[in-house]
Amino acid sequence: MPRADCIMRHLPYFCRGQVVRGFGRGSKQLGIPTANFPEQVVDNLPADISTGIYYGWASVGSGDVHKMVVSIGWNPYYKNTKKSMETHIMHIFKEDFYGEILNVAIVGYLRPEKNFDSLESLISAIQGDIEEAKKQLDLPEHLKVKEDNFFQVSKSKIMNGH
């Protein structure tokens, strides 16, 4: 288990970047659509941030802020060779938003990433992560981040950090 102080000292963590095409697995194989950040956003994460599943808030462009979960890491089930950051926003979007700016505020940590013996067990774990994130994000200390000025910033700015 990652040391809590390595995780918590970076939270909340704010980042934004243009949505790029990922591996095409989120919606198609998992039924859980994800928005993917470009490599430069992933590469700019704090060097000692633990891989795993986090939760927080996200908006697309200057749109509404929604609950989200984000996987940071190597996705062991799929044996990725490149670290990725895949965000599942808990909202139904009418269409894809590739090329739009994704704004993310990570406020909490759910679990380390791990491998799964089947696609079904992976999907079940992700659904459990989503349910736990929904509960955690209703806590006052996390709700206040939804109103952060970060989500009011001009769409043209791309940044990482606090």
SS (H, E, C) the chain: CCCHHHHHCCCCEEEEEECECCCCCHHHHHCCCCEECCHHHHHCCCCCCCCEEEEEEEEECCCCCEEEEEEEECCHHHCCCCCEEEEEECCCCCCCCCCCEEEEEEEEEEECCCCCCCHHHHHHHHHHHHHHHHHHHCCHHHHHHHCCHHHHCCCCCCCEEC
Q: Across residues 147-152, what is the average pLDDT?
A: 92
Q: What is the pTM of this model?
A: 0.87
Tokens of 38: 């470009």
CA gap 34, 58 in Å, rounded: 12
Q: Of 39, 86, 120, 147, which one is the catalytic site residue?
A: 86
The tens digit of pLDDT for each residue in 49-87 reads 888 999 999 999 999 999 999 999 887 666 666 788 999
The tens digit of pLDDT for each residue in 99-110 reads 999 999 999 999
Domain boundaries, the chain: 3-146
Comparison of pLDDT for 5 and 43, the residue scoring more: 43
Residue 149 pLDDT: 93
Q: Above 70 in pLDDT, residue 3?
A: no
Architecture of domain 3-146 in CATH? Answer: Beta Barrel (2.40)
Q: Above 80 in pLDDT, residue 8?
A: no
CA gap 85, 22 in Å, rounded: 10
Q: Across residues 121-149, what is the average pLDDT?
A: 95
Residues of the chain with pLDDT > 90, as a percent, come to 59
Residue 145's contacts (CB-CB under 8 Å, 6 or more residues apart) are 12, 56, 57, 105, 107
Active site residue 95: no
